[in-house]
A and B are shown apart, each in its own frame.
Chain A
Amino acid sequence: MTAAAPPTRMPLPEWVRSELHRRSGRAILVRLVLTIIVAVLVVFPVAQLVIGSFREGGPIRGGPFTLENYRQALSDAASGELLFNTLGFAIGQTIVPLIIGVVLAWVVTRTDVPWRSFWEYATISLYLIPLLAAATAWSILLANRTGIINVLIRKYTPFDGFDVFSLGGMIFVQSLYLVPLVFLVVSASFRSVNPEMEDASRVFGASPFRTFLRVTLGVSRPSVMSAAVLCFIIGIGSMEVPLLFGFSSRVDVYTTDIYRALRVRFPPDYGRAAAIGVLLLMISLVVLWAYLRNIRHTQRYVTVGGRGARIAPIRLGLWRWVVFAGCAFFFTLTLVLPFAAVALGSLLPFIGRPSRALYSRASFDNYESLADNAVIWRAVKNSLTLAVGAGIVVMILGAFIAYIVVRNPSRWSRGLDYSAALPLTIPAVVLATALLFTYISLELPGGFRVFSTLWILGMGYVVYFLPIAVRQMTGPVIQLSSELEHASRIFGATQRATMVRIVLPLLVPALVGGGVLAFVTFLREFTTSVLLFDVGTEVVSTVMYSYYANGRMPYVAVMAVAMWGVVVVAMFIAQKLFKTKITF
């Protein structure tokens, strides 16, 4: 029916009319609420940041429009070095994990190396290690003079040690813990490559290695590229490693510069932070644009299919033991050594040159004195409240958005989808800065302020995880055949009853899996926390950093051990109780 609208009515755009025409009032209300939430959390803050960067004194003071902030940020004596460090760090920590992650994914999905599923499990546990805990471990192991490994190297080999407090050290540590991210993205793609394509390559004369390079890796290019882009954006936006290893040795990057401007200088230099935030945003947009250009011809890579037939793994012969040794070495380096280091460090009175005298003073004193510390317990309470609360909120939001996008594709829902995915393309530090500017002075009726409360941190966490939550829920919703819902309606259940009795129960495993991932992510989150916390709203990671900055390394080690423990327990519960699997 194309009922002619009464001529007096305002002519609405076609898509608005069709939207209003097709949907019930409740459906429109749900969309409206989601749109407002996403706007408040993502779109509005980023707009504030960009506009504010052009105002004198930065976003908060709202002075006249000027380019002064950019002039200062760019003409700084150190600005060339700043850019060099930022890009060097980001590119380095993209390339290294990309190589290791791709090789590891190939080994696990395609070869007959012993203990294949164990290595896969190990990679996923690597993903769960709090970066802050790992960084603590590496400062114990590789600090220039006191690092255990360095001491051993100097004692038993002619080589000099490796100072982790340097650009190279930053890349090294960050790279190790980005490997699982690359692995998860790339191995999923490798698994979906039609094995017959590889067989065809072998039949036509290519060796296993060439087949891997030309066919498996070739058709997986979009996944490899997207892993690279993810790593790069994480690299220019994350703060923990640059702050832990670069701050004291004056290897500054943009994120630490923002930290200085906002949290070290007094009064804070909002203008500079905003301008650098926008610069970072520009860099990530350029990278994204290049990425999208590069994968334009998606149909060239459509390979999913086959009949799910498991191919025979490539026989490595004796090489399999070499590969096995490589895997063992890698996971000793990334899992076993760091854990041993923090466990040891947590028992010592201070971290110094390794010596018998020092180790003989090992005790549980650190644990006892921290157990009596009220600030610690407050931080633990804050962290758990935030991790649980924000985890629940973000998964509900993600499920709603995924459901609407999958079930009712329209311009509106696609717009919602893109806005929710936006944070993935924005460096974490930029998001946190944008939220800070937008809500630092906001006062709701009744004198309620968002800043200095857990709410602003919760908002930051939700924004940060929202794209992942939507992605986590999109697959399960797609797999949920709409005929299951139609059947329920036809057999008498209302829309709401169908949601409660059919849709929700079928999505529970995905919701729990995503929720645990969110919980773990929030527990160790640092970049957002360190910019948005205040007295009274400390979280575990910010307390760890303040002990670190004050040189109380054993305390940091104690907290790293505890964090590690909680994460492992949470994952164990999720896997045993809900049979969920961590994917990305």
Chain B
Amino acid sequence: MTAVDAVDLEMQPGEFVTLLGPSGCGKSTLLRMIAGIEPPTTGTIEISGRVVNDVAARVAVPPEKRKLGMVFQSYAIWPHMSVYKNVEYPLRYAGVARNLRSERVHDALASCDMAEYSERYPHELSGGQQQRVALARAIVAQPALLLLDEPLSNLDARLREQMRLELKRLHVELGLTMLYVTHDQSEALAMSDRILVMDRGQILQEGSPEEVYRNPHSITVARFLGVKNIIRGTLVDSTHARLGPHVVPVTARGDVSVDDPVVLAIRPDAITRPQPGSNAAGELQGRIRVVEFLGTEYEHEIVVGDDVALIVTAPDRLGDMGDLIELSVNPDGANAFPDRGDDSERGDVE
């Protein structure tokens, strides 16, 4: 079983790169290899121009010699040390003189808003505060590279958004180089300079958040980025596909030709009411089965044709349950990929 297979990744100083993928896709393994916790079976890893892993040359620098920072999913704050001792730890091994440490610790804690907690012990802190201590500890020694392994996954939704902003702020203020691992597409889209979408140990696509979101190269990437409508269809011409009884405008991706079976990935916000000016009928007709109010928007489940359920989000309510409505599709948000009929992709296909 290969967890990480033939991955090429190069990072620029000051860059924020995110590895995005489902659990078990190898993204954490990749991070642990870079940290030196797990040995790669082949290939090389270089940090700041220094080779830390070169399997062919039998080079394997232990983790403590890599000058990295890391934030763990469980925070990994040492419970028997005070907050101060936890944050001071990396400085001791970075060779920082004793009298200079306290200022550095204080600065790191201050930039994470934890300055007044330095004498506390971890069990006296909330989850969010422990997270901040973990972050302060990770940045205190000014690592060449900061690794973050799903650091926000144990926080509740409100704290998660707050920490997301703070991570981004630290990245900008301190000019840190950060490699971030997550399975949450909204985190990846919100923070990264560059996203690498991973699955089964391989990188499927890389690019800026906008590029990856708007221009997924495969159905798998589209699914990881939160596209909820994944439906089988047939390509009618280079810009249209048949979906049940309807024909909708799409953007054809990859190697597909007319009459080929395709899998359509349609973003929930790409399905809208027809523009008032145009001919009032849309490409689709559907009946609203469920409407949910999500606060900033409404989410509708709309049944089209025999039994194809589409998720449609809109800032306004499109109608009541049971209503039959007209819908049109924005081809920028509707991609048609070749249907390889392969099991991995069939999973969520209707």
A interface residues (Cβ-Cβ under 8 A, vs B): 1-2, 22, 481, 483-484, 486-495, 497, 502, 505-506
Contacts and interface: CB of A to CB of B under 8 A. Distances in A.
B335 to A, nearest CB: 39
B56 A490 contact: no
Contacts of A492: 64, 67, 89-90, 92-94, 141
B93 A490 contact: no
B79 interface: yes
Contact of A481 (B39, B64, B74): B74
Given A481-B74, A491-B89, A486 B55 contact: no
A490 B89 CA distance: 11
A493 B76 CA distance: 15
A483 B72 CA distance: 7
B76 A481 contact: yes
B187 to A, nearest CB: 20
Interface in B75-122: 76, 78-80, 89-90, 92-94
A494 B35 CA distance: 14
A483 B74 contact: yes
A502 B73 CA distance: 19
A1 B32 CA distance: 18
Contacts of B70: 486-487, 490-491
Given A484-B76, A506-B80, A490 B69 contact: yes
Contacts of A497: 93
Contact of A493 (B74, B89, B137): B89
A486 B94 CA distance: 16
B257 interface: no
Given A506-B79, A506-B80, A490 B66 contact: yes
Given A1-B42, A486-B35, A493 B64 contact: yes
Contacts of B80: 505-506
Interface residues of B, number: 32
Nearest to B37: A486
A497 B137 CA distance: 18
Given A1-B42, A492-B90, A494-B64, 17 more contacts: A22-B39, A481-B74, A483-B72, A486-B70, A488-B78, A489-B36, A489-B62, A489-B64, A490-B35, A490-B36, A490-B64, A490-B66, A490-B70, A491-B93, A492-B93, A494-B62, A497-B93
B274 interface: no
B89 A1 contact: no
Given A489-B36, A491-B93, A492-B64, A1 B74 contact: no
Contacts of B68: 490
Chain B interface, DSSP helix/strand/loop, else mixed:
loop
B76 A486 contact: yes
29 contacts: A1-B41, A1-B55, A22-B39, A481-B74, A481-B76, A483-B73, A486-B32, A486-B63, A486-B70, A486-B72, A487-B70, A489-B62, A489-B64, A490-B35, A490-B36, A490-B37, A490-B70, A490-B147, A491-B137, A492-B64, A492-B89, A492-B93, A492-B94, A492-B141, A495-B62, A497-B93, A502-B78, A505-B80, A506-B79
Nearest to A485: B76
B180 to A, nearest CB: 16
A493 B36 CA distance: 13
Contact of A491 (B39, B41, B42, B69): B69
B325 to A, nearest CB: 44
A502 to B, nearest CB: 6
A487 B135 CA distance: 12
A506 B78 CA distance: 9
A111 B36 CA distance: 52
A270 to B, nearest CB: 52
A22 B60 CA distance: 12
A489, A491, A493: residue with the most chain B Cβ atoms closer than 10 Å: A491
A519 B294 CA distance: 63
A155 B67 CA distance: 84
B233 to A, nearest CB: 43
Contacts of B93: 491-493, 497
A281 B72 CA distance: 49
Contacts of B76: 481, 483-484, 486-487
B144 to A, nearest CB: 12
A1 B78 contact: no
A173 B32 CA distance: 57
A487 B78 CA distance: 9
A495 B62 CA distance: 9
A523 to B, nearest CB: 30
Contacts of B55: 1
Contacts of A22: 39
Contact of B90 (A1, A483, A491, A505): A491
Nearest to B72: A483
A484 B64 contact: no
Contacts of B62: 489, 494-495
Contacts of B72: 483, 486-487
Contacts of A494: 62, 64
Contacts of B66: 490
